[in-house]
Structure 1
Amino acid sequence: MSGVGDPATERRGPVSFTGQRDAVSAAGQYGGAGGAVSDLPRDALGAAKAEVGALARPAAVERASAALAQSRIVRTARLTLLPVGLENLDDLVRLKADPRVFEVMLHGVRTPERTREELEDDVDFWAVRGYGTWAVHLDGHAQRGSGEFLGIVGLMERPDGRGVALRYALWPECRGRGYAREAARAALDYAHAAGVRRVIGVARETNEASRGVMEEIGMTAAGEFRNQGHRMIVFESVR
């Protein structure tokens, strides 16, 4: 699935430096008993500030990184969506090599080498855009690496220039259970919340299942084009 949207702004929470107070307190020894940082000789003050920065920075960065990672996990009633990582490679190789899943996708089935390249691109896309592709797991309480892997859902920049697009690809065994619709709706909501005003989706005219998913999550037909002899329907969501 694929589409044009405004670039999202990555939102980061405030950073706190919990180690700073202890470091400043310890630095008071340079000014004698009960000495304040302002009482320090200039060289000692500089050393104390450097020590504060050295102590605070790793912990703050770690906390900010953890908070950012958590903000990108999406949970629905039955599913957990986790940003893709290298730990998903084996599952993705199987998924993208299956013609039942990827024959109708842009560029068709993938080789293992191509799948690895795309995964690395997906990881980079998350870092730059603040949104991207998720691995879909069955189990609303799944942690990374647990819960049955159902497929992928997410957002990509279409190489044909049409913009930011919603895509989803789940195992055929998942059909008829509403998992694609549930995952696609969650990804679409995330995109708009992240600041992407317009998201599109593309499906072959003959792919009634995919078209049905987009219609059910509120996307509307907005155009068409032909690709390798197939009539492609463009859907959009604008908020």
Structure 2
Amino acid sequence: MIPPGKENLPDLIRLKGDERVFGWMLHGVRSAERAAEELEDDSDFWEVRGYGTWCVFERESGAFLGICGFMERPDGRGVALRYALWPECRGKGFAREAARAALAFGHRAGLRRIIAVARDENIASRAVLTDIGMTLAGEFRNQGHRMLLFQSLAGS
């Protein structure tokens, strides 16, 4: 797993600028400029930490499906698993496969505790997190939304 490169920027701009995808994410949709800044941040994060966010592609077609990986939550809750795939990918197992692989990679990379956050009303994301073995560990409110905090502990 390697970080996205500049060749992925057009796909990242489309994904991160789409309300159907990034409307669910922390800080919402991104401008093209912000998506480019985040690409640089992701590369730096990989260089320092040895893990981060990567692009997800369909094996057969090579089509860009979205992103998956890790970020340090700005609220200090820890390193979080995150994923964002096109709505057309729903129900096909891509998010589960990517999230499961990321979780295993993160624990192999030495992360003892990995968290994930989902809005209470995001049933699909909650199902993915539960299906890959993450457990509910708390909740909080963010911008008027009830947020659920999940965790995975190495060796559990």
2:108 match: 193
Shift of 1:85: 1.2
Percent identity over the alignment? 70
CA distance in 2, matches of 1:212, 1:85: 30
CA distance in 1, matches of 2:3, 2:130: 25
1:203 match: 118
**1:145-171: per-residue Cα shift (whole Å, max 9, x none)?**
x81100000000000111100000000
1:168 match: 83
One of 122, 135, 140 as aligned partner of 1:225:
140
Task: After the TM superposition, list the runs of 4 or more consecutive aligned residues in structure 1 that deviate by more than 4 angstroms.
Answer: none
1:143 match: none
**1:5-32: per-residue Cα shift (whole Å, max 9, x none)?**
xxxxxxxxxxxxxxxxxxxxxxxxxxxx
Q: Is 1:130 the counterpart of 2:50 in the alignment?
A: yes
Question: For residue 185 of structure 1, what is the amino acid of its counterpart?
Answer: R
CA distance in 2, matches of 1:121, 1:85: 11
1:99 match: 19
Name the one with the larger helix percent: 1
Name the one with the larger strand percent: 2
Which runs of 5 or more residues in structure 1 are unaligned?
1-72, 74-81, 141-145
Which runs of 5 or more residues in structure 2 are unaligned?
none
Equivalent pairs, count:
154
Q: Is 1:84 the counterpart of 2:4 in the alignment?
A: yes
Shift of 1:232: 0.2
Q: Is 1:151 the counterpart of 2:151 in the alignment?
A: no
Specify the SS of the correspondent of 1:115. Answer: helix
CA distance in 1, matches of 2:114, 2:12: 24
**1:187-229: per-residue Cα shift (whole Å, max 9, x none)?**
0000000000000000000000000000000000000000011
Larger radius of gyration between Structure 1 and Structure 2: 1
Question: For residue 148 of structure 1, what is the amino acid of its counterpart?
Answer: A
CA distance in 1, matches of 2:78, 2:116: 10
CA distance in 2, matches of 1:137, 1:156: 20
**1:102-159: per-residue Cα shift (whole Å, max 9, x none)?**
001000000000000000000000000000001001117xxxxx81100000000000
The TM-score with structure 1 as length reference comes to: 0.63
Q: Is 1:115 the counterpart of 2:30 in the alignment?
A: no
1:180 match: 95
Question: For residue 221 of structure 1, what is the amino acid of its counterpart?
Answer: L
CA distance in 1, matches of 2:132, 2:11: 27
The TM-score with structure 2 as length reference comes to: 0.97
